[in-house]
Amino acid sequence: MHCGKRLGPLELIPVLSWLFLRGRCRGCGGRISARYPVVELLNGALWYLCVRAVGLTAFLVPALALVTALLVASFIDIDTQEIPNGVTIFILIVAVLWNVYAAFEGYGVLLQNVVGFFTASGILLVLAIISRGGVGGGDIKLMAACGLLLGWKNMLLTLAAASILGVLVMVPVFLIKRLRRGTPIPFGPFLAAGMVISMLYGEAIVGAYLRIFLP
């Protein structure tokens, strides 16, 4: 970031390169933010959880791509209050490719995913209209692209999980920082977390929830 030095292959090794360089640029000695290794570690942890939950199936490929894209989108959203279109378009391309692949096995998944494109994005769009811009357009587009990959059931669970996480995290933040009503909250990271939870553990969560009512 400081001197524009082009990084060599060794300097691009995740986490380790940062540790060996002690967080400083080899060209100019400028500090390199700890955020880089933290995001790299987080990505590694998410990929591990994906392999555990999804297993070595074809869906692992789009799952890994999605969690990484959501991680990137979350950090950018926290910084800029905006989800870049590039990330959403990347997810959209992954989703389209996955649906082409899945269509060979039958149209059931494809139908659920096409409905998924409109599920959470539609609900957020209605909320955006009612609240006159209280929901960001970036969130709506992200939900559409992700819905096409995960299907409508996951998107409903995503909204529920994101809302619960949002309340659990933001209520204490509002109380501690004494924020006012109307302070903008980046909702993207909560939606992203909701999606990862629902993609990896959705069936287990819904199963446990239904068993409460249907023993």
The residue ranges that bind Zn ion (CB under 5 A) are 2-3, 5, 25, 27-28, 30
At its nearest, how many Å lie between Zn ion and the CB of residue 9? 17
How would you class 175 by CB atoms within 10 Å of its CB: exposed for 0-12, middle for 13-18, buried for 19 or more? exposed
At its nearest, how many Å lie between Zn ion and the CB of residue 5? 5
Cβ-based nearer residue to Zn ion, 5 or 111 = 5
At its nearest, how many Å lie between Zn ion and the CB of residue 37? 17
Cβ-based nearer residue to Zn ion, 31 or 126 = 31
Cβ-based nearer residue to Zn ion, 36 or 47 = 36
The 3-class SS string of the chain reads CCCCCCCCCHHHCCCHHHHHCCCECCCCCCECCCHHHHHHHHHHHHHHHHHHHHCCCCCHHHHHHHHHHHHHHHHHHHHHCCCCHHHHHHHHHHHHHHHHHHHCCCCHHHHHHHHHHHHHHHHHHHHHHHCCCCCCHHHHHHHHHHHHHHCHHHHHHHHHHHHHHHHHHHHHHHHHHCCCCCCCCCCHHHHHHHHHHHHHHHHHHHHHHHHHHCC
At its nearest, how many Å lie between Zn ion and the CB of residue 139? 35
Give residue 33's identity as a one-letter amino acid code. Answer: S
Using CB positions, name the residue nearest to Zn ion: 25
Cβ-based nearer residue to Zn ion, 11 or 82 = 11
At its nearest, how many Å lie between Zn ion and the CB of residue 48? 32
At its nearest, how many Å lie between Zn ion and the CB of residue 29? 7
Cβ-based nearer residue to Zn ion, 15 or 25 = 25
Cβ-based nearer residue to Zn ion, 33 or 183 = 33
